[in-house]
Chains A and B, each alone.
Chain A
């Protein structure tokens, strides 16, 4: 599916679940302050925040607690999406947290059936011998948080279920 996009092959993203949150970590070969700025400075952010081939033609980040972020995500193969959110935590160069949800170009909230109304992304930046360890917690992917928070086991269990119950989907890539 997502054929290894990174060059070099040493860069690897680790992924897992904690409760209902998607957790991703990766080491970047750059000083923490710079990595943090890449997340909070709109000029930097617009250069990378999106899947391959996408761009952010409009991007405003007011990275301080209570500040808003608002951007237009342009994709080559499907309609543009506008996102708006609020920074809930900005603690350079260690932590950053913000909400994101669909909006219109003016910044008003837009509901999209089948998608969560609002998600929270928390990013931790840790010193690492090779640079900076970035940990992203992506929460709110599932609507009914209340119930789902009861999860104590990881989704690995689900993978096991899938493996046993159905034709495999190409386990290793």
Chain B
């Protein structure tokens, strides 16, 4: 099953080790060895995480044969952000409309109450 890009990003972010790796890379590029340091993890295990991040487009790896530093790629993160923002904005607007509508309803009810003023 192939995921759409957004789900691939979320999926890649779903792991704490991978998020820690991204957090480290947000401070600047690093080699695999440097990235592996804080974790009690084998190099192959770290490499696996890096592959997931790379496939999701969250990191980029240098081409220099063994050195291959990793760099954070912000584009997918920005996509997640704008996608979240879109849902947030929709709810915000619904709530504004509901708020206005409830006020209108209550004003109407008051008037219908007869005695009114």
Contact = CB atoms under 8 A, between A and B. Distances in A.
Contact of A52 (B14, B26, B84, B97): B97
Interface string A132-173: 001010100111100110111101011111101110010000
Interface range on chain A: under 10, 10 to 19, 20 to 34, or 35 or more?
35 or more
A5 B77 contact: no
Contacts of A113: 4
A146 to B, nearest CB: 9
B74 interface: yes
A113 B22 CA distance: 28
B6 A38 contact: no
Contacts of B106: 30, 34
Nearest to B22: A161
A24 B105 contact: no
B94 interface: yes
A159 B84 CA distance: 11
Assign chain B's interface to a size class: 35 or more
Interface stretch (A41-49, A77-85, A88-96, A99-107): A41-49
A22 B84 contact: yes
A129 interface: no
Interface of A: 1-2, 5-6, 11, 13, 15, 20, 22, 24, 26, 28-30, 34-35, 38, 44, 47-52, 113-114, 134, 136, 138, 141-144, 147-148, 150-153, 155, 157-162, 164-166, 169
Interface of B: 3-4, 6-7, 10-11, 13-16, 19, 22-23, 25-27, 72, 74, 77-78, 80-81, 84-85, 87-103, 105-106
